[in-house]
Amino acid sequence: MQLDRDEDILRAAEAWRKAGRGVALATVVETWGSAPRPAGSSLVINDEGTFLGSVSGGCVEGAVVTEALDVIDSGTPKLLEFGVADETAWKVGLSCGGTIRVFVEKVD
């Protein structure tokens, strides 16, 4: 699977901001156990729900995008945690046995 490079993600964020879109950046800040993507992996989301990158190889992106839209609206960053022991993780598909923390912040 080809994942987007950090430069592509940052270029998309810059282009969306220049176009007047609200933008959030989600970054994996911590992992435990078997995690689908390493710390530092990023996902950029605009206020239309369009996104580029990956924080989980696809298993929690939908939940992160939903939270990112709230961060864009409120301006308040969030620290999200998804893990196999968390019922939310099963709902969104994170069944790899690990845990990830994702920091979501608005890009100004």
Task: Please say whether the beta carbons of 87 and 72 come within 8 A.
Answer: no
Q: Is 37 a member of any domain?
A: yes
- Confidence (pTM): 0.85
What does the pLDDT read at residue 2?
41
* Per-residue pLDDT tens digits for 12-34: 999 999 999 999 999 999 988 77
Residues in the chain, pLDDT under 50: 1-2, 89
Compute how many other C-beta atoms are within 10 angstroms of the C-beta atom of residue 2: 4
Residues in contact with 100: Cβ distance below 8 Å, sequence separation at least 6, in sequence order: 28, 30, 31, 32, 35, 36, 37, 55, 56, 60, 81, 82, 83, 94
Domain extent at residue 34: 2-11+20-85+95-106
Q: Is 90 a member of any domain?
A: no
The count of structural domains within the chain is 1
Q: Is 63 a member of any domain?
A: yes
Compute how many other C-beta atoms are within 10 angstroms of the C-beta atom of residue 70: 12
